[in-house]
């Protein structure tokens, strides 16, 4: 009956319809697709309870859907994950059955749960409140922030694919193929550096952006161009301080990349230009303060002369590999002066923020500082 009604609708003569009528029809069909997709996901969840697809020779729910429903493997995997969520999380299933949860938000919840299954059940009510009140796009932004803040201990293994990596291989034709995954702060620095090194195309330059980007990349490799770039980050003060904050109000992101773990933000805050925006509620700006340079060039030079390189016990990486680290965190009131700063290489800078409660600082008579982790 449903298919017959759809066939009849498609056979309508719409030649004389107004633009408003055509838009209304498209919007009505969009709403109908939401309802029908919801019913489809519920049917998948019901059919998946006894894994009946195995008797037909399929190895998974997604392979069954991709073959029998003529959808891409990616869509089949999304529908399979959403149906699993409905089977295993009762509150989410009830909200979806009541029509309060858009399909797009259900897909996002399924991704959230696959990332932090243990914590999803604890925060399910807060997540559902936002998912039912926000548009799918707005909810996705909150969900990405939740994934980053649910565990404030940044480890490379928590990134997609297990941390930063770069693979390079020769093709049969003699070229080199490069594939890489970078963590958020390195990724945005890479992108901004590449964009800054790209020369504006000449009027007769018809090359696509990917070719000009490759030219800029090789210019950096050869040392012809290494522009200095700024990375913009936004964080609310409670998240920066590690204090509780609601999911709706939390904000901790790199502009152009999106949400990052607060522990990464605290490391970036060690050496940056900081400015304040005082707001009423979560979004109405009341006052914008002037940016303040935290570590001056002269102070960094003095720090380099004193420490020479990474001051983590047993590490000998040179100063050129190091960041300036606040011993008492800047966001906790630590001063930006030589006595409260120490050079740490990127690896030990990250480690010290991830394990800040275990870190110990030892000051020697010759004025040098040594940083190390206390034994468990």
User: Given this model, what pLDDT does residue 246 score?
Assistant: 85
Average pLDDT in the 226-241 region?
A: 83
Q: Is residue 189 part of a domain?
A: no
User: Given this model, what pLDDT does residue 354 score?
Assistant: 84
User: Given this model, what pLDDT does residue 71 score?
Assistant: 94
SS (H, E, C) 315-346: CCCEHHHEEEEECCCHHHCCCCCHHHEEEEEH
Greater model confidence, 1 or 255: 1
Q: Is residue 311 part of a domain?
A: yes
Average pLDDT along the chain: 86
The answer, yes or no, to whether residue 127 has pLDDT greater than 90, is yes
| Contact indicator for 183, 159 with CB cutoff of 8 Å | yes
Q: Is residue 29 part of a domain?
A: yes
- Domain end among 149, 176, 204: 149
Exposure letters 189-211 (e unless 16+ CB within 10 A, then b): bebbbbeebbeeeeeeeeeeeee
Find the domain containing 332 and state its range: 297-373
The answer, yes or no, to whether residue 182 has pLDDT greater than 90, is no
Beta-sheet pairing, 258-259 with 359-363: unpaired
Q: Could you tell me what percent of the chain has a pLDDT over 70?
A: 93
Q: Is residue 96 part of a domain?
A: yes
| Contact indicator for 259, 144 with CB cutoff of 8 Å | yes
User: Given this model, what pLDDT does residue 102 score?
Assistant: 93
Find where tokens 């933000």 sit.
265
Band (pLDDT 50/70/90 cuts) for residue 36 is: very high
Q: Dump pLDDT digits (tens) for 287-296.
A: 667 677 678 8
Number of separate domains in the chain: 2
User: Given this model, what pLDDT does residue 154 score?
Assistant: 43
Provide the CA 321 distance to its chain's centre, in angstroms: 25
Find where tokens 């719409």 sit.
14
Give whole-number Cα distances, 333 to 210, 327, 328, in Å: 45, 11, 7
The predicted model scores a pTM of 0.66
Give whole-number Cα distances, 216 to 204, 228, 276, 292, in Å: 18, 14, 34, 32
User: Given this model, what pLDDT does residue 282 score?
Assistant: 61
User: Given this model, what pLDDT does residue 189 score?
Assistant: 83
By residue count, the chain amounts to 376
Band (pLDDT 50/70/90 cuts) for residue 255 is: confident
Q: Is residue 75 part of a domain?
A: yes
Q: Is residue 253 part of a domain?
A: no
Residue 285: which residues within 8 A CB-CB, separation 6 or more?
A: 277, 278, 279
- Residues 211/216/219/225 CA torsion (nearest 10 deg): 170
Average pLDDT in the 240-247 region?
A: 85
User: Given this model, what pLDDT does residue 107 score?
Assistant: 95
- Domain end among 101, 128, 149: 149
Greater model confidence, 255 or 16: 16
- Domain end among 93, 117, 149: 149
Cβ neighbour number for residue 43 with a 10 Å cutoff: 11
In the chain, alpha helices (H): 2-10, 19-47, 61-68, 73-88, 90-97, 103-115, 117-133, 136-149, 184-197, 209-221, 237-240, 262-268, 297-307, 346-354
User: Given this model, what pLDDT does residue 281 score?
Assistant: 66
The answer, yes or no, to whether residue 334 has pLDDT greater than 50, is yes
Cα(151)–Cα(53) distance, rounded to whole angstroms?
37
Which residues lie across from 278 on neighbouring strands? 287
User: Given this model, what pLDDT does residue 158 score?
Assistant: 45
Cα(188)–Cα(196) distance, rounded to whole angstroms?
12
The answer, yes or no, to whether residue 306 has pLDDT greater than 80, is yes
Residue 159: which residues within 8 A CB-CB, separation 6 or more?
A: 181, 183
Using DSSP's 3-state secondary structure scheme, residue 169 falls into strand
Average pLDDT in the 8-14 region?
A: 90
Q: Is residue 250 part of a domain?
A: no
Q: Which of 128, 105, 125, 124 is nearest to 116 (CA)?
A: 124
Q: Dump pLDDT digits (tens) for 187-225.
A: 888 888 888 888 777 778 888 888 988 988 998 888 877
User: Given this model, what pLDDT does residue 283 score?
Assistant: 61
Q: Dump pLDDT digits (tens) for 67-112.
A: 999 999 999 999 999 999 999 999 999 999 998 999 999 999 999 9
User: Given this model, what pLDDT does residue 156 score?
Assistant: 45
The answer, yes or no, to whether residue 185 has pLDDT greater than 60, is yes
Q: Is residue 60 part of a domain?
A: yes
């Amino acid at each position: 009956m449903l298919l017959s009604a759809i066939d009849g609708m498609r056979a309508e003569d719409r030649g004389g319809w107004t633009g408003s009528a055509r838009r209304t029809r498209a919007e009505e069909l969009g709403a109908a697709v939401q309802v029908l997709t919801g019913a489809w996901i519920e049917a998948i969840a019901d059919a998946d309870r006894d894994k009946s697809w195995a008797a037909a020779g399929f190895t998974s729910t997604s392979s069954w859907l991709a073959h029998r429903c003529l959808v891409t493997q990616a869509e089949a995997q999304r529908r399979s994950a959403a149906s699993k969520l409905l089977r295993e999380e009762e509150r989410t299933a009830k909200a979806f059955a009541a029509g309060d949860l858009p399909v797009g938000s259900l897909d996002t919840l399924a991704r959230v749960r696959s990332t932090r299954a243990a914590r999803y059940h604890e925060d399910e009510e807060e997540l559902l409140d936002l998912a039912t009140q926000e548009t799918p796009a707005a909810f996705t932004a909150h969900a990405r922030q939740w994934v980053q803040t649910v565990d404030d201990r940044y480890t490379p293994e928590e990134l997609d694919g297990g941390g930063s990596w770069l693979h390079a291989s020769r093709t049969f034709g003699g070229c080199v193929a490069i594939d890489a995954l970078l963590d958020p702060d390195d990724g945005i620095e890479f992108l901004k550096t590449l964009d800054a090194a790209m020369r504006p195309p000449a009027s007769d330059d018809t090359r696509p952006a990917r070719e000009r980007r490759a030219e800029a990349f090789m210019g950096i490799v050869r040392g012809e161009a290494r522009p200095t770039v700024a990375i913009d980050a936004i964080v609310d003060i409670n998240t920066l301080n590690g204090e509780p904050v609601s999911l709706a109000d939390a904000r901790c992101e790199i502009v152009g990349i999106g949400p990052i773990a607060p522990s990464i933000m605290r490391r970036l805050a060690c050496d940056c230009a900081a400015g304040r925006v005082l707001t009423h509620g979560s979004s109405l700006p009341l006052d914008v303060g002037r940016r303040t340079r935290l570590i001056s060039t002269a102070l960094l030079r003095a720090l380099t002369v004193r420490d020479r390189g990474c001051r983590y016990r047993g590490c000998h990486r040179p100063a050129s590999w190091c960041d300036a680290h606040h011993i008492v965190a800047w966001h906790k009131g630590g001063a930006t002066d030589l006595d409260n700063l120490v050079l740490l290489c990127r690896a030990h800078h990250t480690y010290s923020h991830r394990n800040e409660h275990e870190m110990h600082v030892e000051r020697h008579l010759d004025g040098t500082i040594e940083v190390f982790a206390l034994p468990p």
